[in-house]
Structure 1
Amino acid sequence: MRLFYLSAGILAIVVGVIGIFVPLLPTVPFMLLAAFCFARSNPEWERRLIEHPRYGPHILAWREKGAISRKGKTASLLMLTGSAIIGLVFLPYPWCYTPLGVALICGTWIATRPSG
C-alpha cells in the first residue's frame, strides 16, 4: 500500500507542476493530494511540501481548518462562472446546462469553506 501512495503522490506532484503552466488546471489541489499520499508513504517528502513557501500554507490551512484562501476562492468562482457562461452560449440544448450545474454545485461547496 505504501508504494501505491508514493506513486499517487508523485503523480499528483507531476500534474500539479503541469498545472503551473496550463491555464485552468489547478495546482494546489494536486499538492494537497500529494501531501496526503506522502503522509502515508514518505514523511520526508510530506515535510518538504508542508515547508514549501508557496504551497505549505495552503496545505496547513486545509488540514487545520478545511480553509481555502480568499484569493483561491475568488479565482475558482470566477473560472466556474466563466465556464458556465461559455457552456450556456456554445453548447447545444440540453448540454448547455451541464457546466452551469457543475458550477453551482462546486461553487456552493467552495463558497461555504472557511477562508484561510
Structure 2
Amino acid sequence: MLKLLAVSFWRLLACISLLLGLIGVVLPGLPTVPFLLVSAWSAGKGWPRLELWLLAHPSFGPPLKRWREQGAVPRKAKYMAILMMTSSVVLLQFSAAPFWLKLTLPAFLCGVAIWLWRRPEV
C-alpha cells in the first residue's frame, strides 16, 4: 500500500511538472526546462516509461541529457534567466510587497544567479 502511494506521488509530480513545462513552451516568462528536469527526475522514481520518453524526445531530450551528464546550462538560457530575475526584482520594488521581501528576494536571486553562472556551458 505504501509503495503504491509513493509511486502515485512520483507520477503525480511528474505529470504536474510536465504540464507546467509544456505551458512554459508557449507562455513567455514561465521556464520550460526546470519543470522538465523535475518531471524526468520524478518519473525516474515512479514512471520509468515517461522518463525514457522525455529523454528520447527530440526537443526535450537534449537539454535533459546535458543537465544529467554535465550539469550544463546553455549561455542563452543563463542570459534569459538573469533577465527574468532582474525584471522580477525591479517589478517587486514598485509593488506593495512587504519590505522584508523586497530585501530578501533580491539577495536570494543573486545567489541563484551566481550558482547559475558557475554551471558549465554547452
Q: Same fold (TM over 0.5)?
A: yes
Q: Kindly report the root-mean-square deviation, in angstroms, between the aligned alpha carbons of the 2 structures.
A: 1.8
2:78 is aligned with 1:73? yes
Gaps of 5+ in 1: none
Q: For 1:46 and 1:57, locate their aligned partners in 2 and report how far apart those are by CA, in whole Å.
A: 13
For residues 26-57 of structure 1, the C-alpha deviation after alignment (integer angstroms, 9 at most, x for no partner) is 11111111111111222221111011121111
The 5 A counterparts of 1:21-100 are 21-88=26-93, 90-91=94-95, 94=99, 95-100=101-106
For residues 38-88 of structure 1, the C-alpha deviation after alignment (integer angstroms, 9 at most, x for no partner) is 112222211110111211111111111111111111110111122222223
| Counterpart selection for 1:103 from 100, 103, 109 | 109
Question: Which has the larger helix fraction?
Answer: 2
| Contact residue 87 and residue 100 of structure 1 kept, 8 A | no
Specify the code of the residue in structure 1 equivalent to 2:57: H
- Superposition TM-score, scaled by structure 2 size: 0.82
| Contact residue 87 and residue 97 of structure 1 kept, 8 A | no
Q: For 2:51 and 2:102, locate their aligned partners in 1 and report how far apart those are by CA, in whole Å.
A: 41
Aligned-pair distance for 1:107? Answer: 1.0
Specify the code of the residue in structure 2 equivalent to 1:20: V
| Contact residue 83 and residue 99 of structure 1 kept, 8 A | no
